[in-house]
Structure 1
Amino acid sequence: MDNILAALMFFTRLPFWKIKTVPKECFKHVVSYWSFSGWITGGIMAGVFLCSSNVFSIGVSVILSLISRIMVTGALHEDGLADFFDGMGGGRDRESILRIMKDSHIGSYGVLALILYYLTSYSVLSSLPREIIPATLICGDTFSKFVCGQIINILPYARNESESKAKVVYSGMSIKERLISLAGGIVPLYFLPIEYGWALISPVIMFIVLALYLKKKIGGYTGDCCGAVFLLSELSFTITIATLA
């Protein structure tokens, strides 16, 4: 429970810290429980869409659902996406990429990445049939977090602990933690109609491509990379759903 609470504290802005204080060591295992935070963020997105779509158009409801996750997470993953593109777009070597990614100022690559990401997300989600959008939101969130969480098992951390923004280096998953992460990612798939099951391949492919790219460019991953890989993998899931629909 301490590890789950640590993950919910780390990946959301909700006041889980009021429940109890968890040991600092637990925050090294938050990625193992990342998919469970998706039950909350994806569930809130789906709930906001369901409620608002009874009053507003699909387009407005999609915007409100996207805003809800930004508010719940404090734009944690979006910050990673912007830093990722700033670093990869402006850096010439490993050291410059890591330096740019750590800079708190956003650059032109980061701004363009966020604009294009949300334009694409809005356009694709709005094109879906109303009845499939809630399942797309929650399943894309949880399954993509499970897939992308595996990055800590296949790549080393690109910085040392003192250079980390969060001041913590994630521990690789044990077999038990891998199974827990898997459960968090696949249980919500119950809501996804079976004919859309092919969409689950897209996040896996996107993850593999980005993991190979990170290994080549910086020899590992950072927290910003985790956020970027998650959002891009989730977007590939949503695009595939739209293609199948």
Structure 2
Amino acid sequence: MNPLAELRYFFTALGYFTRVPVPRWVGYEPHYLNAAARYFPLVGVLVGGVSALVYLAALHVFPASVAVLLSMAASLLITGAFHEDGLADCADAFGGAYTRENVLRIMQDSRIGAFGAIALVIALTLKWQTLAALPPMRAAALMVAAHAASRVGAISYLATLDYVRAEGKAKPVAQRLRGLALVWAAVSGLPWLGWPNGFGAPDWRFAATVLVVLVVLRVAMGRYFVRRIGGYTGDCLGFAQQIFELSIYLVGLAWISS
């Protein structure tokens, strides 16, 4: 393993999925992006970490509901609403089209329709209300865990499904993810689920429950993608990341409410 090359791949992942400036020496080649896929969950850790810090700092001044909104705004600013855009595009396409060709055409349309707007409002409101209802340290810990683990779930489709476009913004990423790259992505993104309350003893029962939910959702969404369009697009990956992230928050709230 070449440490300089791996650092280049990490910065490539950071530059692709966030608006954080990266060093100029990193450069860009299409094959960098595919190699960088293993670092997408680690980028999620950083995004979740910033969200958690903004949330905890804001709690000193504002009530939880406002602190959560500020943390969400921070994550949207950092990522440029990259994954939320995929959620909206998929909702418009799958909700408003019947044929494969029309689904793919609507996904490429930069305009947002009724289905996309409704999906965004519901998803963002659910995140807001769920995180605001959680104890502060649990909410902060789940922000990190959800951003990391949801990206593991999203890129896992690179290992099993086909990219359905001849060209597209995700085309450089859309090579089969195998072996050590997939293992590294899982190792960097999934263990955070074991600490839903922050520091302290791990809660592996919670982590196992979340993993079961994620696996069920992954299988269901994967089958749906294949049935509707024969595989995935970049928007499908963004859609999946948002569903996985939200499901982790909901399981976290249900866990303490039961």
Show the counterpart of 2:96: 90
Deviates more, 1:1-10 or 1:102-111: 1-10
2 CA distance for matches of 1:131 and 1:189?
A: 14
Q: Give the 3-state SS of the residue equivalent to 1:150 in structure 2.
A: helix
Within the alignment, does 1:196 sit opposite 2:206 as a pair?
yes
Q: Give the 3-state SS of the residue equivalent to 1:160 in structure 2.
A: coil
Unaligned runs of 5+ in 1: none
Contact 2:12-2:26 at 8 Å conserved across structures: no
Q: Could you list the runs of 4 or more consecutive aligned residues of structure 1 that deviate by over 6 angstroms after TM superposition?
A: none
Aligned match for 2:113, one of 107, 111, 129: 107
Deviates more, 1:13-22 or 1:125-134: 13-22
Paired amino acid for 2:169: K
1 CA distance for matches of 2:254 and 2:11?
A: 37
Deviation at 1:144? 1.3
Matches within 5 A, 1:8-87: 8-18=14-24, 20-87=26-93
Deviation at 1:16? 1.2
Deviation at 1:48? 0.7
Question: Normalization by structure 2: what TM-score?
Answer: 0.89
Q: Give the 3-state SS of the residue equivalent to 2:26 in structure 1.
A: coil
Deviation at 1:196? 2.9
Contact 2:159-2:178 at 8 Å conserved across structures: no
1 CA distance for matches of 2:76 and 2:164?
A: 26
Show the counterpart of 1:227: 238
Deviates more, 1:185-194 or 1:110-119: 185-194
Question: Normalization by structure 1: what TM-score?
Answer: 0.94
Within the alignment, does 1:117 sit opposite 2:123 as a pair?
yes
Task: Flag the 1:167–1:244 CA change in 2: closer, same or farther, 3 A.
Answer: closer
Deviation digits for residues 105-158 of structure 1 (CA, Å, limit 9, x no counterpart): 111110111011111111111111122111110001101111221101111001
Paired amino acid for 1:159: R
Q: Give the 3-state SS of the residue equivalent to 2:232 in structure 1.
A: coil
Aligned match for 2:177, one of 170, 173, 177: 173
% identity of equivalent residues: 31
2 CA distance for matches of 1:24 and 1:148?
A: 20
Q: Give the 3-state SS of the residue equivalent to 1:16 in structure 2.
A: coil
When the two chains are superposed, the root-mean-square deviation of aligned CA atoms in Å is 1.5
2 CA distance for matches of 1:240 and 1:166?
A: 30
Deviation at 1:20? 2.6
2 CA distance for matches of 1:212 and 1:167?
A: 21
Contact 2:153-2:240 at 8 Å conserved across structures: no
2 CA distance for matches of 1:24 and 1:217?
A: 28
